[in-house]
Amino acid sequence: MPSCREGVRGVYGTSIKQSGSLRTEIGKLMPTELHHWINGQKVAGGKSRVGEVFNPATGEITSLVPFANEDEVKQAVDVAKDALLSWSATPPIQRARVMFRFKALIEENMDEIASLVSSEHGKILDDARGSITRGLEVVEFACGIPHLLKGDFTGQVGTNVDSYSLRQPVGVCAGITPFNFPAMIPLWMFPLSVACGNTFILKPSEKDPSCPLRLAELFQEAGGPDGVLNVVNGDKVTVDALLNDPGVDAVSFVGSTPIAEYVYSTAAASGKRVQALGGAKNHMVVMPDADFDQATDALMGAAYGSAGERCMAVSVAVAVGESAQPLVEKLAPRVSGLKIGPYTDPEAEMGPIVSKGALERIKTLVDAGVAQGAKLVVDGRQTTLQGYEDGFFLGGCLFDDVTPDMDIYKEEIFGPVLSVMRVPDYESALKLVCDNPYGNGTAIFTRDGDAARDFTVRSNIGMVGVNVPIPVPVAYHSFGGWKRSMFGTSNTHGMDGVRFYTRIKTVTARWPSGIRQGADFSIPTLK
């Protein structure tokens, strides 16, 4: 297996640093060459299929990432299958100890990991640290794996017959993750999967692969045996190779809805266990009795934090009755005054968009909103930053008078664009939420306990907040949407994660007492 453990050669033939790109004398950035991580080693990967990784704040290419082909994926699957034999037989308490060390290493290296997230995604450092902490919580949950794997036991299900169930690993698991949380979402998946005794192949987003590669190194440093956690970088070819490889037993996917649906149907058709989380359009209902200052603060963070590139971002504010006017009046100056900057600016509240393509797509949708008659109260399309003219920056945009037929309502924009929709009453707000094809998250802001309770019961959405705008469940609950935000039956992490990454085996046992039962030709009923 080709290894580049000690460093790789730069694309332009010059030797380059692993931990950061170098500049030539004329100031041109020399991109770092990234790698795969297979069997506890950096593996260079072929040169024929390579992706460019950008610093979204400067627009510069900082790294080149190899895209694995079918043979390289097969190599990773074979390694994961080999490692499964001893790892699945390792006592859960020993697997938990690896998790404890891994948790400590993530904490020790928090700043470095946050920089890797921010430099390739663009989000501000505080936000990156917060997302890593949310992933760390799953590692903490996985530290309790001996307890979580405890099965059930019933004595005397019949005379001298006992029954008990075991949770056993599923086998080789694959995780395919999106760009917007390069630490948190891989951490939703592999720590729990490997703690359950599986081995894992992670295919992170090709837009920000450096953080997942670093996490794999830390897992090894924590005592994770070679081959238990592997990272293959790539695109659709790589994903398809994982979905079609008979050696892969389970697939966890998080990303956009069309790809989630494709991954779900393709992997399920080849007999794999699949959980596939998709896109979102999250509504926050603001009732006339809400605290408008609190609701405005909540909307600012939930709509514009991480430049709106969160699956739980609020992209629609549903203003009920007379709440619309004060809400828009309070929001407008706050959106115009958003501090936009690169992640290196400690004052910045919002960074750039992840890529030029995504920036153009968002601007096109904003144009469509204007053309289709929505009122653009704050227009961030012309935003540029001095010294960062080539960065992918977009100012916050605020629309009012948005209606359900408009593209800005129908599409998941995934950018810093908030649509205010005016409805006459609570029932109309609830209907809007329930009629939307997505069902990831929603929230209600109110002082009325009755309205809040009704909303939590009747909304057909997977995660609901009451005066909490981004109700992302903690690690020991589970995360997942309804409707077109999720395909499959199992949420991620929490006990749903344990169930997804294990198979139940139920044993019914009788120890012969010397009394023969004789042959029984009817279905056994224990007496």
- Residues of this chain that interact with ligand NAD (CB under 6 A) are 176-181, 203, 205-206, 235-236, 239, 254-256, 259, 262, 277-280, 311, 412, 414, 440, 481, 485
By CB atoms closer than 10 A (0-12, 13-18, 19+), residue 153 is exposed
Nearest-approach distance from CB 30 to ligand NAD, in angstroms? 25
Residues 6+ apart with CB under 8 A from 416: 303, 304, 307, 308, 338, 350, 380, 394, 395, 396, 397
Catalytic residue among 143, 173, 311, 397: 311
Let me know if 311 is a catalytic residue: yes
Termini Cα distance of the chain: 59
- What is the three-class DSSP state of 472? coil
Nearest-approach distance from CB 472 to ligand NAD, in angstroms? 9
Of 180 and 296, the one with the shorter C-beta distance to ligand NAD is 180
Q: What is the DSSP letter of 454?
A: H
E-only strand ranges, 248-298: 250-254, 273-277, 282-286
**H helices present in 350-500, as ranges:** 356-371, 407-410, 426-435, 449-458, 494-500
3-state helix, strand, coil in the chain (%, to 5): 35, 25, 40
Nearest-approach distance from CB 107 to ligand NAD, in angstroms? 24
Nearest-approach distance from CB 169 to ligand NAD, in angstroms? 24
Q: What is the DSSP letter of 340?
A: B
Nearest-approach distance from CB 269 to ligand NAD, in angstroms? 14
Of 134 and 203, the one with the shorter C-beta distance to ligand NAD is 203
Nearest-approach distance from CB 264 to ligand NAD, in angstroms? 11
**In the complex, which residue's CB is closest to ligand NAD?**
255
CA atoms of 26 and 275, how far apart (whole Å)? 48
Of 241 and 451, the one with the shorter C-beta distance to ligand NAD is 241
CA atoms of 61 and 92, how far apart (whole Å)? 43
CA atoms of 88 and 68, how far apart (whole Å)? 27
Taking alpha carbons only, the member of 425, 513, 504 closest to residue 158 is 513
Upper half-sphere CA count for residue 127 (Cβ side, 13 Å): 29
Of 179 and 304, the one with the shorter C-beta distance to ligand NAD is 179
Q: Which residues are catalytic?
A: 311
